[in-house]
Chains A and B, each alone.
Chain A
């Protein structure tokens, strides 16, 4: 095509960019994807350290941690104070959700994979893409600085319910909250940082949707796209429609805290001992509605990209086509659509009309259906396949298995009568960690091991990868499975010292067991980090398609140059043509010419 040739000569005719424009303020989606990957992994370390602090407190409530007294004046000497503990678990959740999982899944893999997999040269708006990454940096700075401001970082849970989070003193008394020292400047930093994260994600989502709609290579119809791209597309739709509501909620709480608006302050205001906020007039419950209206689609934002990536990885290493391509796409769309009408299941205990609760319960239970369709399809894809147990495949298989467990515990919560019992217990914590750590994070690991050669031109070490996988799988199950048990026994979440309650005496040993497993889990991640960094410089160099995969990104060099493809790819078939007995190879890339004598596939 004359157009593509002129494009390729254009690519070579670009002036050579300086270091700053090539690697720091780059408009190339691959560089931006890798930037998101690096910052996401750094914050994974920070969030993980916070998690270990949480576990230390729960496992050894009377214990002390040496450096705390020196760095954090609000603690009880070297012991954590209850407020400090509240800050640690709130920031752990905030960082993991908004600075690790969403940036890694949508920012890193979305940016890197989408243009490559649809045959585009770059995203639709490269400058917007760059801004979407750099808008995260104010958020990074503010959220980290919030630990060191007066009063400490936010400590009202990642859910920041008013009035604990939002009540401020009447005008003229600074940003101190009478409810908690952690609801002062730290909470304001939290709100502002999340506004930046939201803006970054909204810019990214508009970019992804436009790219996928309009920039596909010739022949790449919507139903020939790999599931990774479909999942990123549906996730982008979720982000664009749900994030603005969170932004409004954050801004309303910010206004409540700074200029004495009364959105969440009940009529008559609120007394805190001798202190009193101003007159109120608002509705405290409104925050929960606005917050969960975003935060429920957010959990689907955190799982759908992993589902898409895992589908592609499973097909590549099972050397078999995906079972039920269209149902898989429709199931993802169904999960996303239903995800908009179930947010009330986080609020079953808020005193809502039981008839409203029934509606939410029905919709929540229905989400199990498309999720089950996907799980059965993965299993059917694996059935009778010639499975290659590479590290990426092991992580992907773990995703499927752990997602089943996480999903099953979700069904308990969906039923309102059961949820009334297990709400705010460790059963919820178990569920959320099974779907977030043991599904999304295994999905992220699978994606890293899989696409690392494409990103850096070298593979990670397979042996150490498998060691990392095995230990992570073992220790994460040891850490999070017993949470189901102690949760049903009545162990509440967010409690500073459960040894104060004698009905929990029998489960404290499980708490110690989980803490030790969590520490070992944390240490195991060092293997991954060493492998990652070492392989950047000393990993085995590979060519374009080390995994013999079909999708378009493997047709570009590793790593791909600016402009991705040497000439515009022409797509002739779907992405899952594996194991066709009529063909010599067990795979048939999307751009390969049709082999003679082989009938053309239906779609």
Chain B
């Protein structure tokens, strides 16, 4: 709960500052990736910029969580809260996909039936 060792104190401040700099740089990276993928310039494809931007977001979130929120130090005591909620959050978003995103929309080409109804092909 309370740290008394001065060395670990200063290391902590160094860690916080490094993370702060990293977060700022990553923000700039994602902004540049978006700017580079703009249709006027198209230096990189939208898919590449998407991957970079979301990857950067995940890294930033992990850094904030691990260092600023002290998860790196408290992991052994709270992992049983973090892991289920991470699974739930991911799962919830993915499971809504089939019914709404991949579903057939009016105006699309009609779908081929997966199995022939009459039994012949």
Asked if A65 CB lies within 8 Å of chain B CBs, one says: no
Asked if B103 CB lies within 8 Å of chain A CBs, one says: yes
Task: Assess the B98–A356 pair: CB atoms within 8 A.
Answer: yes
Question: Among A82-90, A285-293, A552-560, which stretch is in contact with chain B?
Answer: A285-293
Task: Assess the B92–A293 pair: CB atoms within 8 A.
Answer: yes
Task: Assess the A283–B100 pair: CB atoms within 8 A.
Answer: yes
Asked if B88 CB lies within 8 Å of chain A CBs, one says: yes
Q: Which of A289, A340, A341, A355 contacts B96 (CB 8 A)?
A: A289
Asked if B99 CB lies within 8 Å of chain A CBs, one says: yes
Main SS at interface, chain B: helix
Asked if A505 CB lies within 8 Å of chain B CBs, one says: no
Task: Assess the B98–A286 pair: CB atoms within 8 A.
Answer: no
User: Can you give 27 contacting A-B residue pairs, CB < 8 Å?
Assistant: A241-B84, A241-B85, A241-B88, A245-B92, A285-B99, A285-B100, A286-B96, A286-B100, A289-B96, A289-B99, A289-B100, A293-B92, A340-B88, A340-B91, A341-B91, A341-B95, A350-B99, A352-B98, A352-B99, A352-B103, A353-B98, A353-B99, A353-B102, A353-B103, A355-B98, A356-B98, A356-B99
Of all chain A residues, which has the CB nearest B96?
A289
A245 CB contacts on chain B under 8 angstroms:
92
Nearest chain B CB to A298 CB, angstrom units: 16
Q: Report Cα–Cα, A289/B100, bound state, in Å.
A: 10
Of all chain A residues, which has the CB nearest B107?
A267
Nearest chain A CB to B14 CB, angstrom units: 32
Nearest chain A CB to B101 CB, angstrom units: 10
Q: Report Cα–Cα, A276/B96, bound state, in Å.
A: 29
Q: Report Cα–Cα, A356/B99, bound state, in Å.
A: 8
A341 CB contacts on chain B under 8 angstroms:
91, 95
A289 CB contacts on chain B under 8 angstroms:
96, 99-100
**The 4 residue pairs across chains A and B that have the minimum distance between CB atoms:** A356-B98, A352-B99, A283-B100, A289-B96
Q: Report Cα–Cα, A367/B100, bound state, in Å.
A: 26
Q: What 1/0 flags go to B63-94 for Cβ under 8 Å of A?
A: 00000000000000000000011001001100
* Interface residues on chain A, size class: 10 to 19
A356 CB contacts on chain B under 8 angstroms:
98-99
Residues of chain A touching chain B, judged by Cβ–Cβ distance below 8 Å, are 241, 245, 283, 285-286, 289, 293, 340-341, 350, 352-353, 355-356
A283 CB contacts on chain B under 8 angstroms:
100
B88 CB contacts on chain A under 8 angstroms:
241, 340
* Interface residues of B, count at CB 8 A: 12
Of all chain B residues, which has the CB nearest A283?
B100
A353 CB contacts on chain B under 8 angstroms:
98-99, 102-103
Q: Report Cα–Cα, A286/B97, bound state, in Å.
A: 10
Q: Report Cα–Cα, A568/B51, bound state, in Å.
A: 56
A350 CB contacts on chain B under 8 angstroms:
99
Q: Report Cα–Cα, A289/B92, bound state, in Å.
A: 10
Q: Report Cα–Cα, A353/B95, bound state, in Å.
A: 12
**Besides the contacts A340-B91, A352-B99, what 9 more A-B pairs have beta carbons closer than 8 Å?**
A241-B84, A289-B99, A293-B92, A341-B95, A350-B99, A352-B98, A352-B103, A353-B102, A353-B103
Q: Report Cα–Cα, A285/B105, bound state, in Å.
A: 13
A286 CB contacts on chain B under 8 angstroms:
96, 100
B85 CB contacts on chain A under 8 angstroms:
241
Q: Report Cα–Cα, A283/B92, bound state, in Å.
A: 17
B95 CB contacts on chain A under 8 angstroms:
341
Most buried by B among A350, A355, A356: A356
Q: Report Cα–Cα, A238/B88, bound state, in Å.
A: 11
Q: Report Cα–Cα, A352/B104, bound state, in Å.
A: 10
A293 CB contacts on chain B under 8 angstroms:
92
Most buried by A among B88, B91, B95, B98: B95
B102 CB contacts on chain A under 8 angstroms:
353
Q: Report Cα–Cα, A286/B99, bound state, in Å.
A: 9
A355 CB contacts on chain B under 8 angstroms:
98
Nearest chain A CB to B66 CB, angstrom units: 22
Most buried by A among B95, B99, B102, B103: B99
A241 CB contacts on chain B under 8 angstroms:
84-85, 88
Of all chain A residues, which has the CB nearest B103?
A353
Nearest chain A CB to B93 CB, angstrom units: 11
Q: Report Cα–Cα, A340/B90, bound state, in Å.
A: 13
Nearest chain B CB to A66 CB, angstrom units: 47
A285 CB contacts on chain B under 8 angstroms:
99-100
Residues facing A in B31-90 (CB within 8 A) are 84-85, 88
A352 CB contacts on chain B under 8 angstroms:
98-99, 103
Q: Report Cα–Cα, A241/B103, bound state, in Å.
A: 27
B103 CB contacts on chain A under 8 angstroms:
352-353
Nearest chain B CB to A268 CB, angstrom units: 10
Nearest chain B CB to A328 CB, angstrom units: 20
B84 CB contacts on chain A under 8 angstroms:
241
B91 CB contacts on chain A under 8 angstroms:
340-341
Q: Report Cα–Cα, A352/B103, bound state, in Å.
A: 8
Most buried by A among B85, B91, B92: B92
Nearest chain A CB to B94 CB, angstrom units: 11
Nearest chain A CB to B97 CB, angstrom units: 10
B92 CB contacts on chain A under 8 angstroms:
245, 293
A340 CB contacts on chain B under 8 angstroms:
88, 91
B100 CB contacts on chain A under 8 angstroms:
283, 285-286, 289
Q: Report Cα–Cα, A251/B3, bound state, in Å.
A: 43
Of all chain B residues, which has the CB nearest A209?
B81
Q: Report Cα–Cα, A341/B95, bound state, in Å.
A: 9
Q: Report Cα–Cα, A293/B96, bound state, in Å.
A: 10
Nearest chain B CB to A597 CB, angstrom units: 40
Of all chain A residues, which has the CB nearest B97?
A356
Q: Report Cα–Cα, A406/B39, bound state, in Å.
A: 59
Q: Report Cα–Cα, A245/B93, bound state, in Å.
A: 11
Nearest chain A CB to B113 CB, angstrom units: 11
Q: Report Cα–Cα, A340/B91, bound state, in Å.
A: 10
